[in-house]
Structure 1
Amino acid sequence: MTTRTLYLISCAAPPARRLHIPIQAAQQAGWDVCAILSPSAYRWASEDAEGEVEALEALTGHPVRHQYKLPSQADLLPEPDALLVAPLTSNTVNKWAAGISDTLALGLITEGIGLRLPIVALPHWNKAQDAHPAVAHSVATLRAAGVTVLLGDEGFVPHRPRHGNLDAYPWQAAIDALPTLS
């Protein structure tokens, strides 16, 4: 089996505190995983007293990226063969669908569409956020662009505000939706 590279791009939502779950599952499926965090998700991880960033780096064998590098700096990560955006927040889905790339995470997923990379997105937001008309429009835009957005019965089902269940977050559905390795 050939190892291919998966970028796990995570936003600041509660499941981002459990990134070891999808990393280990993807590694077991043969992926070399690189973690890229939104600036807020990185702040959560870097302020963690238990060394969450360091733990992710040890688990993946790659640095955790969260901001653009300077043009003079070498790329520290291998090129991706696929992208997994999880957890995807309502803020990021709307920026992504609008083509905004003001962070490394957004830049990679916006560019990923143009590069025709396989992209799987697993949202995490509540029913109130889901009710905003921009969210449905953004999801439809991304799906039309070829992104697999796992929202609804095939993936994440929005919960009542402040009633999310981290144990129910469907990480495995996202791993299963990735392209198979050959």
Structure 2
Amino acid sequence: MTAQPFLYVVVCAAGIAGETHKLITAAQEQGWGVGVIATPQGLGFLDAEAIEAQTGYPIRSAWRSPGEPRPLPPADAIAVAPATFNTVNKWAAGIADTLALGILCEAYGMEIPTVVLPYVNTAMAAHPAYGRSLDQLRKMGVLFGSYEPHRPKAGGGADRFRWEEALELLDGKIAGSSGR
């Protein structure tokens, strides 16, 4: 009998981050254990008490102290949702100045399947660094969702953001997870 696969959901500071519970619910319905890692700014977009009750784990946002126990099991896969312009660019550049970015940078060397559901506006997506970053991460094997950037200052396209797409992208990527 194999252990329950474990998914890290990395949450960035985007207006739709408050809907992260949708991805957690979908993952749990598919048999995943879930832990949430938030960027320091993303933490403010979450109902921490509700997320921790739903997952059974504390939300991680800061490095743990030496000797402090690991609060989450090791990740079998990672979903970055929603992913911001800032996180995508820093990650592609190898900048690990937050716990979330450190985990993402390390995931490549650990060969942890990673998917990203970006949530950016068209003005940010037009910046040349963003396209280069997407290309770099794709070369690293990172899979991206299909969300198209929304117009700036228009409230975003939350109705078009498909949280479950993260799980669809992971389908068949996890060894020994029967269907994932």
For residue 7 of structure 2, give the secondary structure of its aligned residue in structure 1. Answer: strand
- Matched-pair contact (CA < 8 Å) for 1:7–1:84: yes
- For 2:122 and 2:101, locate their aligned partners in 1 and report how far apart those are by CA, in whole Å: 23
Partner secondary structure for residue 116 of structure 2: strand
In structure 1, C-alpha distance between the alignment counterparts of 2:84 and 2:117, rounded to whole Å: 9
| In 2, Cα distance between equivalents of 1:33 and 1:169 | 20
Q: Tell me the alpha carbon deviations over residues 29-87 of structure 1, each in whole angstroms, 9 at most, x when there is no partner.
A: 11100011000011233xxxxxx101000000111111110112110110000000010
The letter of the residue matching 2:113 is P
User: What is the CA-CA distance between 1:170 and the residue it aligns to?
Assistant: 1.3
Write the distance in 2 (CA, Å) between the matches of 1:11 and 1:96: 12
User: Where do 5+ consecutive residues of structure 1 fail to align?
Assistant: 46-51
CA distance in 2: counterparts of 1:58 and 1:105, whole angstroms? 21
Structure 1 vs Structure 2 CA RMSD: 1.2
Pairing partner for 1:81 from 76, 82, 86: 76
**Contact map agreement 2:85 2:124 (CA 8 A) in 1:** yes
* Separation in 2, partners of 1:139, 1:27: 28
1:104-124 C-alpha deviation (Å, 9 max, x unpaired): 000001100111100001100
Q: Is the 8 A contact 2:39 2:100 kept in 1?
A: yes
Task: Please show how residues 131-146 of structure 1 align to structure 2 within 5 Å.
Answer: 131-146=126-141
Q: C-alpha distance in 1, partners of 2:89/2:63?
A: 21
Percentage of pairs with the same residue: 45
Give the Cα separation in 1 of the matches to 2:103 and 2:28.
Answer: 21
User: Could you tell me which residue of structure 1 aligns to residue 113 of structure 2?
Assistant: 118
Question: Which residue in 2 is equivalent to 1:48?
Answer: none
Q: Give the superposition deviation at 1:179.
A: 3.4
Aligned residue pairs, count: 172
Q: State the TM-score, normalized to the length of structure 1.
A: 0.91
Q: 1:175 aligned to 144, 159, 167, which one?
A: 167
Aligned to 2:88: 93
Q: With structure 2 as the length reference, what TM-score do the two structures score? A: 0.92
Query: In the alignment, is the contact (CA less than 8 A) between 2:14 and 2:45 conserved in 1?
Result: no
Structure 1 moving runs of 4+ over 2 Å: none
For the residue of structure 2 that corresponds to 1:27, the secondary structure is: helix
User: Partner amino acid for 1:92?
Assistant: T
Query: Is the partner of 2:41 in helix, strand or coil?
Result: helix
Kindly state the Cα deviation for residue 165 of structure 1 after the two structures are TM-superposed: 2.3
Kept in 1: contact 2:85–2:130 (CA 8 A):
yes
What is the rounded CA distance, in whole Å, between the counterparts of 2:41 and 2:15 in structure 1? 12
